[in-house]
Amino acid sequence: MTDEHAMHHEDHSSCGPGYASPEEAMKAEREKVLYAIALYVGTGIEEPDYLASVDVDPNSSTYSQVIHRTPMPNVGDELHHFGWNACSSCHGDESKSRRFLIVPGTLSSRIHILDVSDERAPKLYKAIEPEEVKSKTNLTTPHTVHCLADGNIMISMLGDSEGNGPGGFLLLDEQFNIASRWEHKTDAMDYNYDFWYQPRHNVMVSSEWAAPNTFTKGFNLEDVAAGKYGHHLHFWDWEKHEIEESFDLGEEGLVPLEVRFHHNPDSTHGFVGAALSSNMWHWHKSNGKWQVEKVIDIPSVELEGWPIPVPSLVTDFLVSMDDRHLYLSNWLHGDIRQYEISDPSHPRLTGQVWCGGLLGNAGSVQGHQLSGGPQMLQLSLDGKRLYVTNSLFSAWDNQFYPEIAKAGSYLLQIDCDIENGGLKINENFYVDFGKEPAGPARAHEMRYPGGDCTSDIWA
């Protein structure tokens, strides 16, 4: 460990490893900064991707502006999802602090470590080169990052060194060295994507997208017919690092992407969004057995020029910190939905707002026509502010929303009524990634310095 690294692990002045409980997190001070991935892959601009620090403090003179950019050292990474070195699963361990972001490049397989001791201006601390990742693990294409209670960091990897499935899971140690692979075998997996663990129930759930050699080239309907996209949900024994049970979601569960357990660590309830089938599935454990059921179905829409009815494409969703609401984005249809999920088996639609899409319902904010469709979501800890960006993946953006490459992304704030239900675009907040210094950029995943609804897991 370097002296600098040791110093950060001993200094807890700005933030600890996480909150003791979801209830404590909800009472946290209002967020002032939001981090957002911004990238130039597929835009024709030969510049590195970067992490944008966005001012989300309404009392600030730079409100809704990018106040700092942390560029990566190379061009072409396709930064995508990212996460923390420590979170609420480490709560109570004074040797841990949330001081480093792990920011992988999906296309490059390079893993960046960013030091966020200066909350408004993160800086590059270390980069793990793809050659090292491949030689030590035979894995590529990093996706989801979760911190573990033992101090290690786990990353889902979507392919092997040749870009084929099923991929696996990579572990980094506390000094950000490649430690090992997490899983013992991958026989039951066709593909890999997202994961979430619930340690009190000794379980991890993982989902499937496709092999990198398939999805990095763009979407081809023939690949679906050829079985090149996933439709399984896997339940792992967390202690044994082995798949305990898999569910084939079939035609009604094509391309299951994001997975979320309840934040309550005693709960076995969780959800997965099947992107191509445009529906949500709920799981829970009853009488010692895992059960999976479809609970939300969004009909496809006939659209001129399309060979098939247009699916809504549920590409992201999250669960509020109090486990009362679920929010999902329909990237192709263009709407964001709010569901009340006190009864997880029967979600109740309570809000909807349009932020672009192919159906002609796109509005405008501050004179900006909303192009693309709503994609990545992040929710404030108190559940009242939902942030959204509109880029999915460069090759898919260029296929379905080519204008994003020229116009850049938006970052919007949606105000959420958590008492009566309802969603409304905040007209005072608009981050225009089309006006970035090096040219229009795509914006993807977002995180708060203090932790958020999609990173913190309670042990």
Strand-pair category, 100-104 with 83-84: antiparallel
> Is residue 360 a contact partner of residue 7, using CB atoms and an 8 Å limit?
no
> Is residue 126 a contact partner of residue 116, using CB atoms and an 8 Å limit?
no
pLDDT at 1: 35
pLDDT at 12: 31
pLDDT at 7: 31
b/e for 140-167, b at 16 or more Cβ within 10 A? bbbbbbbbbbebbbbbbbbbbbebebbb
Rounded CA-CA distance 223/225 in Å is: 5
Q: How many CB atoms lie within 10 A of CB 95?
A: 12
Q: What topology is assigned to 3-447 in CATH? A: Methylamine Dehydrogenase; Chain H (2.130.10)
pLDDT at 16: 61
pLDDT at 4: 35
pLDDT at 347: 98
Q: What is the pLDDT of residues 298-348, one digit of tens each?
A: 999 999 999 899 999 999 999 999 999 999 999 999 999 999 999 999 999
10 secondary structure, DSSP code: H
For residue 351, list its beta bridge partners: 338
pLDDT at 10: 32
pLDDT tens, residue order, the chain (459 aa):
333 333 333 333 344 677 889 999 899 899 999 999 999 999 999 999 999 999 999 999 999 999 999 999 999 999 999 999 987 777 767 667 889 999 999 999 999 999 999 999 999 999 999 999 999 999 999 999 999 989 999 999 999 999 999 999 999 999 999 999 999 999 999 999 999 999 999 999 999 999 999 999 999 999 999 999 999 999 999 999 999 999 999 999 999 999 999 999 999 999 999 999 999 999 999 999 999 999 999 999 999 999 899 999 999 999 999 999 999 999 999 999 999 999 999 999 999 999 999 999 998 999 999 999 999 999 999 999 999 999 999 999 999 999 999 999 999 999 999 999 999 999 999 999 999 999 999 999 999 998 899 998 888
Q: How many CB atoms lie within 10 A of CB 106?
A: 24
pLDDT at 40: 98
